[in-house]
Amino acid sequence: MAETPCKRLYEEQGQAPWLDNISRGLISSGELQKMIDHDGIVGVTSNPTIFEKAIGTGTDYDAQMREIYGQGKDAQAVFLELMIRDIQDAADIFRPVYDRTDRLDGYISIEVTPDLALNTEGTLAQARIFHQRLGRPNILVKIPATKEGIPAIEQAIYEGISINVTLIFAIDRYQAVMEAYLRGLERRHAEGKALDIASVASFFVSRVDSNVDKKLDALIAKAGSDAEKKHLESLKGKAAVANAKIAYEVFGQVFSGPRWATLQAAGARVQRPLWASTSTKNPSYRDVMYVEHLIGPHTVDTMPPATIIAFNDHGEVKRTIDTDMAAEHKVIADLAAAGIHMDAVTKELEDEGVASFAKSFETLNGVIAGKRAALAAGQPQNEQTDLGSFNSQVEQTLHELADAAGHIWQHDAAWWSADSVVQGKIGDRLGWLGVVERMIGEADDLRNFAESICKGGFKNVLLMGMGGSSLAPDLFSMEFETADGFPELYVLDSTDPAMVAVCREGLEPADTLYIVSSKSGTTTEPTAFMNYFYERVKAVKGDKAGENFLAITDPGSPLITEAQQRGFRRVFQNPPDIGGRYSALSYFGLVPAALMGVDVRKLLDRAHQMTERCGAGVAAAENPGVWLGAVLGTLGKAGRDKVTFITTPGTASFADWAEQLIAESTGKQGCGLVPVAGEETGPPDIYGDDRVFVYMPKESDDHEALDEMVEKLMDADQPVITLPMADEYDLGGEFFRWQVATAVAGKVLGINPFDEPNVTESKDNTKRLLADYAKTHRLPDPTPVAAAGNLELFAYNLPDLAGGPDSSGKNGSDSSDLDPAEVLETLFESVEVHDYFAILAYLETSDDNMDQLEAIRTLALDELQVATTLGFGPRFLHSTGQLHKGGANNGVFLVFTSDEAGDVKIPNMDFSFGTLIRAQALGDIEALVAKGRRVVRIHLVNAEDGLREAGDLIDEVLVGAGVES
């Protein structure tokens, strides 16, 4: 096996790659040892934030916590006991590295508690306790580089305690740290004591850019000329590297000359600079930027798992730490000339760092106290399941998936496909694995931006997107209360003219912020929405219309240029290696959530807890994502392919979000899981043997009646998975759990869960129809096979229909005299035992239409006794549309279209919204027919009256005629 870039860092460049993460699961699973052997990791750091995530999730610490609580210790004492055991175990794992490198590496760091950051004597007392209690030579005690910490560092070195100095931002503070190290060594040397003391100085990196870039953005907004803007833009993303490289320059000066030579001759080693916070926070920057720009001898780089994976995947190994130093000094000088002084920046960062770690420690104590209460009450694991006869099959799958989490977290595209081309495409879709960590670093910026929107007087936010860019925001708008003072969030993902009109009439252009959300920047619907509403705002604000717009898109998309030309308030560039349906925890979901006042950090914390539980070191049976994926995949292969969500009011929208994830990821190559969201829950006897139920009750919802119904389903031997949620913020964890589960289910089913090969079929048909329309000003107008009142019926792939279309799916021009009831009866009678019945409505998503369509759906469930789905077009084209065309031919489709009472023109386009939605409907039907799907389209000449007539007719056919399936 070729050496990894991390190993090459160590062997070729003299830089030690350390891991910035620790947990009991990582230790006990063997994953930490694997990272030493495979990834080339030679050390590890820890802090209270890391332990808060590890202790607060899973059950790894439960047994020890029960034992400690029996001794009557408080939360802080409990934490210290838990931490000490993990540090000792990790130190033992790294001991061979320590010995092999002659004490240079193989260290693990343990941090004094943050409440002592400004307490010299308290810091020293705790450092002594750690040194004595841990009893391992390869331990570094972390002491912050505050003014109060400096004398504690010197004294600890003098006493023979190896130290990791943390929270260094400023060059002058770094010089004080090195001076403290030297003085401690000199005092030992004067007394004839050994100088075999280890120390590193943790110099923080990415946080510098986060701070400076915000200041630059403020200056850019006020810049008086394009040249000034360009100059300020050129400084973004430069301060952190410049600051660190200058620190290394100072390091070289201090550890040279006669003073150092005397200590070195007596056995002392340099205090190596350690680059901390090297994960890239800004998604528009290269994800391994800080690692690549700070490579050099006598340094340490401590990286979180995602950065290690990224660097081993595509990092470039070459010495960069001392190259082009004149340019680095110029960056600092240019910043100062612009009014950004590094001494002020680093002071802010130190204060924020001390406060942040203190807050983490406070949160940690709360987590431990909460865990104590849960353990005392005998709280079981959150997830519950009753799989009946499928238990043994699932256990076999879990055995086969023993290394699943490792493959996923290593971005091993070959795990899903042996095709090198497909592997490359999968590799470009795995960014969701690390997005939680990246977005946590952006939480404060999102909050600050949201507050600036509040101060700007905006009362409403309208997100304009489709599929993956709109479903998560729609969920947030449904499940979270808008915080006081924040604007209301609305989502437009329908091209129906009536829906566009609702947003036009209900939202004042001057006080509405419009979000154009499109991964590619070329999606037809968001582009049409943008053109329409931009003209509306321009009529009110003129050339300043762009102040009411922001964009969320991928780097390099045409939307960025468009936004710049129109003067958008801001453009959020999302990590490009995340597919739309996996983007809920990226900017696509989080920007809209923040704008309505959702606590994004809290949401991401819940997601982070789930990432830990789904980590590479967690056994398949204990890994929530792998386990759920194994269940869904195993039962899907066994014919239980209808994943039916049973939800309470507080979780209903999650099912709509999961619908796209499951359908678009698994519905291909003639197979797939059919997500069933929003279906009315009925008695066990109406369900066949093709279901698996997912019950998601929210704690604060009234779900006693549903509990009883679910019990009856389990009594009837229906497999049921129960995933309760404490509150709406648990959605963060569920997003991640289901993404992992879907990736695993794809593996079990033998398909690539990251592509959507059939989605373009309907889109291509629509584009062709619109291109023809631009020439002829007409869309196809086929002859209905039946008509009555406000209804026109069109039938496809129903060869049993007397006088109707042949097996090619083409309508006969002489068959318009058929009875509409006969057409529907033929459709319903074509439904077989394991089919699903799908209602596709290209109609206004009004409450009245929803109620009437749900009534039709429930009737179909009761009478046909097959799974039913309901989707409004064109939104489902970007989600379940993949399953409809790419999955098994077991879907029976009832499509509704209508004449539009009032159409809406689209500026800068050759068609109206009414024409667009009609072309989308016809294009979709064309794609379904080409795949041999059974389809009936009911066109409503008058939408309001026609839908009622259609409901009455369907009731007559299903109930009155007693259709058999």
**113 by DSSP, 3-state: which?**
coil
Beta strands in 779-919 (DSSP E): 786-788, 791-796, 836-841, 867-872, 891-898
Query: What is the DSSP code (8-state) at residue 283?
Result: T
Spacing of C-alpha 80 from chain mean position? 32
Under 8 Å between Cβ of 299 and 248? yes
Q: Where are the alpha helices (DSSP H) in 101-205?
A: 120-134, 149-158, 171-190
Q: Please tell me the distance from the alpha carbon of residue 432 to that of residue 423, in angstroms, as a whole number.
A: 16
Under 8 Å between Cβ of 544 and 510? no
Per-residue CA distances from 660 to 579, 727, 870 (Å):
12, 23, 13
Q: Where are the alpha helices (DSSP H) in 255-324?
A: 257-265, 289-292, 305-314
Q: Please tell me the distance from the alpha carbon of residue 607 to that of residue 625, in angstroms, as a whole number.
A: 12
**861 by DSSP, 3-state: which?**
helix
Q: Please tell me the distance from the alpha carbon of residue 587 to that of residue 34, in angstroms, as a whole number.
A: 33
| Best CA proximity match to 273, nearest among 251, 291, 304, 295 | 251
The length of the chain in residues reads: 965
What DSSP element (H or E) covers 939?
strand 934-940
Calculate ∠ Cα 817-818-823, nearest 5°.
150
| Best CA proximity match to 515, nearest among 476, 486, 546 | 546
Q: Please tell me the distance from the alpha carbon of residue 491 to that of residue 512, in angstroms, as a whole number.
A: 12
β-bridge mates for residue 788, sequence order? 791
Per-residue CA distances from 164 to 114, 119, 291, 634 (Å):
14, 17, 20, 48
Computed from CA positions of residues 412, 413, 417, 418, in that sequence, does the dihedral angle turn out positive or negative? negative
Calculate ∠ Cα 808-812-813, nearest 5°.
145
Q: Please tell me the distance from the alpha carbon of residue 442 to that of residue 285, in angstroms, as a whole number.
A: 13
| Best CA proximity match to 275, nearest among 170, 202, 353, 175 | 202
Which backbone phi and psi does 805 adopt, to 5 degrees?
-70, 155
Computed from CA positions of residues 592, 597, 601, 606, in that sequence, does the dihedral angle turn out positive or negative? negative
Options 7, 34, 53, 142, the catalytic residue: 142
Mark whether 222 is an active-site residue: no
Active site residues: 142
